[in-house]
A = this chain, B = another copy of it.
């Protein structure tokens, strides 16, 4: 057995520590050099980890990206869920809180926004699309959990495509925020996104009830 203490850490702890350092390094390098420019060697030197040890943590660059992306999504979902729970229990309230929560979360750290909305696409990796699907369904939930069972999706138009388009709109706004040399205010991004969704999903017009 090769489970021995070292620098006060067990074998598993050391392994986990290296893994974590690699993830942290990836977090930074993806945002600065982009995913294609982030070589394994750079990752290792940034994380101060042996080139050899990388392969004991991940099978290759793609798996690392996958893990980083999933972590980002997990954190984002948590943050958004919290924002939504604290919001007033109206469709509009939940919607606005969800968007503001997500945009706020993602713009809080420029690296996050870049990884989640730019680098993921550049990879073209297959398993990443699965993660994307998860985000989609989470987004669906926010809409489908409208309070009194009103279906906010209009008829005659594929609701899946509509949600897809809304995600694309939001994504484009965030990408612009990331790439523009003179980025818009976060509030403006949120405002545009909220305005968009408010107009697209007609349930919002049924919602002045709570206000009066």
Contact = CB atoms under 8 A, between A and B. Distances in A.
Nearest to A176: B164
B158 A168 contact: no
How many copies of the shown chain assemble into the complex? 2
Contacts of A162: 192, 195-196
A184 interface: yes
Contacts of A121: 118, 121-122
A1 interface: no
Residues of A in contact with B, size category:
35 or more
Interface in A145-166: 154, 156-158, 161-162, 164-166
Interface of A: 34, 36, 118, 121-122, 124, 129, 154, 156-158, 161-162, 164-173, 175-176, 179, 184, 188-189, 191-193, 195-196, 199-200
Contacts of A168: 168-173, 175
Given A172-B164, A173-B164, A176-B164, A195 B157 contact: yes
